[in-house]
Structure 1
Amino acid sequence: MINVIAFAKDGKYTGLKVSGHASFGEEGKDIVCAAVSVLTLNLSNSIEHFCDDDFIVDSDDGFFHLTLQDRSEKSGVLLDSCILGLMDIGEDYRDFIKINLQEVK
């Protein structure tokens, strides 16, 4: 199971943590893991290349954690888009991905 925590402050996403494996298919052919990996990697790369915002990212096999230090309009849209994509995957593959919202102070 892939576990996603979307962090929000004052109604706006500030980061996300993704951990686990979907186990939807055999290794190398798991479309759920592949889709989640593409969304999270693209998020990190896009913020780095298109935004001037500071952010922290930590990733490893089956783990991704990104926190925006500053949330500009651009980085906010990118993060919102990634979380929307993860939620869409969660609707179709709810037995393989779980998404929770956590409000931060």
Structure 2
Amino acid sequence: MIQINVWEDEEQKIKKFLVKGHAGYGEEGWDIVCSAVSALTIATLNGLTEYVSIPLDIEIEDGYVYCAITTKMSKLQTIQSQAILQTMKLAFENIVDEYGEYVKMDKMKI
């Protein structure tokens, strides 16, 4: 099972997220649930680093991605990063709705 944790502050701004585990929906290399979660996670990291240009605290291993925003951002960077992160969260919620026995997501408060 894939476990996703998303941490939000009191203003419901996402400050960090963790994606770990494997879905087990299909064979390795053919698992559409794992592929969807992986693609969203990579797209989010790429958007934050390449489009918004903010440094991140990132840890990546097989079946494990941790990402935290640890720097002060401009107002524009905050708007851009939250658009990316909130879109990621919505997409993960859609995957959980469809494949809940393979993916779980918890929202945490900072």
TM range (shorter): over 0.9
Amino acid at match of 1:31: I
What does residue range 75-90 of structure 1 map to in structure 2 within 5 Å? 75-90=81-96
- Partner SS, residue 17 of structure 1: strand
Gaps of 5+ in 1: none
Pick aligned residue for 2:107 from 90, 101, 105: 101
What are the Cα deviations for residues 50-99 of structure 1, in whole angstroms up to 9, with x where unaligned?
A: 11323211111100111112461101111111111111100000000000
Instruction: List 4+ stretches of structure 1 deviating above 3 A.
Output: none
What does residue range 18-57 of structure 1 map to in structure 2 within 5 Å? 18-57=19-58
Distance in 1 separating the partners of 2:57 and 2:87: 18
1:4 matched to which residue of 2?
4
Amino acid at match of 2:57: I
Percentage identity across paired residues of the two chains: 28
Amino acid at match of 2:38: S
Q: TM-score, normalised by structure 2?
A: 0.89
Gaps of 5+ in 2: none
**Alignment root-mean-square deviation, CA:** 1.1
Amino acid at match of 2:22: H
2:60 matched to which residue of 1?
59
Distance in 2 separating the partners of 1:100 and 1:20: 14
Query: What count of residue pairs does the alignment treat as equivalent?
Result: 104
Distance in 1 separating the partners of 2:91 and 2:16: 14
